[in-house]
Structure 1
């Protein structure tokens, strides 16, 4: 699950979601995206920030701009959707911004599910698209179950027991409607934390907790984020996590003609090469199995049971997947998003570089 910024990170003042969207759209328009595409990407990036996936929102803007300026991302893609059967489709992103490619894929999956009860859509020649929960949530808004995965945009994990970096943090997100109790949204990396969280710690000069990374040569814990290039991100659940990452690679990558393993381009180190990132999304129309209201009422009933149980020592409350995400969204929409000083400095430099107004000036 994407981690928020450390609570003790040095903050700047809060910025409204609207001002952040405007700033991102200005920056992306300045490097060649058309205004509607820039606004769509900005909307999805800021959705990451307001829901607490801080490592996948405006934090990524300087990196995206660098890749665009280096020619690594196509700012005017011709995104093509090929329906391959009644319930399946393949989206060729033409190396466009991953947010645009996945937005199209999610909408296609929803359309297929409306027609056939289920829609499975794969992508190829996409790019990094932000947090998985955003896309798993899209079918939920239409009374459907959403399932999303992707091949991560860099390899930071090895197969269990190995040292070669041939697997990514390959995320898995599942969303279900919950009626009065709200949707249940699981969003998790197959590593203990995402690499974006490592980058956030590096930016803020925060040490890594033991159990996140180990040295590729000694197997000893790495706690200095500056040494992350020498390490391996650890999978969740030992061999189970690495096995899950591998199988998701086949579903989101190989099945779509996208890159996995040695073919993955590390977009952190290479701004020019086409990544051919692959993703997949599944939409399931609940009403084809059970009335939506019945499903939501049952989810609400079980949520009440789960949350009303006794807690172990040290646990103040029981939280379910997506609960904190919803709380953060409500709070940050109302109060704004607090951006650390180190990140705001990078964004100010980016504004100067592009000749646009700074975030604080919008």
Structure 2
């Protein structure tokens, strides 16, 4: 499972440029089902025929990213966050500085670093000021704007942080656990379904542009599903720099069944079905409510589905060091398997 998780989390798939993730997902699904569709909006939808309620299990392919806003004469890249239109500047600037960067050019990628002036050249007053948009740039080793242009990089080119995904015992950390763990879960689930009898008509999907407002899911909801089971990272609060009680979700205690987030209340009937399935099969789970949060299932009700969210806990979300517990990933697969099979 870790190798599959590593494959998908390390893959570049910034918002609006999810094609590499989608192609890999389709290629990995081909031995498992004959019915795979790439929609006009860029979503991937796979069908596993069965009898009963029409259920879709899905996650999103896009990841947190930045974009080139301008290129200096000397070849440095000024950046802007994917979320600028939501009123944010460069989010999490302190986590950006010192990170490896990968700039997605027209034909090839360019490696670089997120950087800011070091303490050796800053006055004391400047050191005490918080970082802002213009304090962070990306250095790809170019010496001029012409050199940048030759690499196919220009305003609008996406930039992601570019760490490797690592494992420490039963925990794994890296970028894009949000939401590429879902692809690993769906692929492993599809493998385990071979030879099993489904209790539903099952679909699995990978959506695009979730991070900017659930855009791919707005297309997916037209599929006429009875139940939507979104897979997304849960918010873990089990570390000492967060006050106890603010978020009681813990790594290793099972996936969170989420009742409500900042957009929607999930379907209580299906939550209770999932709880009974977990309890019957000895699968640990947690109760969750996430206030500063939203998932693709938030728009599925408008298409007639009963919306739900299954969320394995994750520490340090929307950072390049997102950490998950492999037991929680495994228990998510087990919960889904027992829920959709007879």
**Structure with the bigger percentage of helix:** 1
Do they fold alike, i.e. is TM over 0.5? no
Q: TM-score range by the shorter chain?
A: under 0.3
**Structure with the bigger percentage of strand:** 2
State the TM-score, normalized to the length of structure 1: 0.25
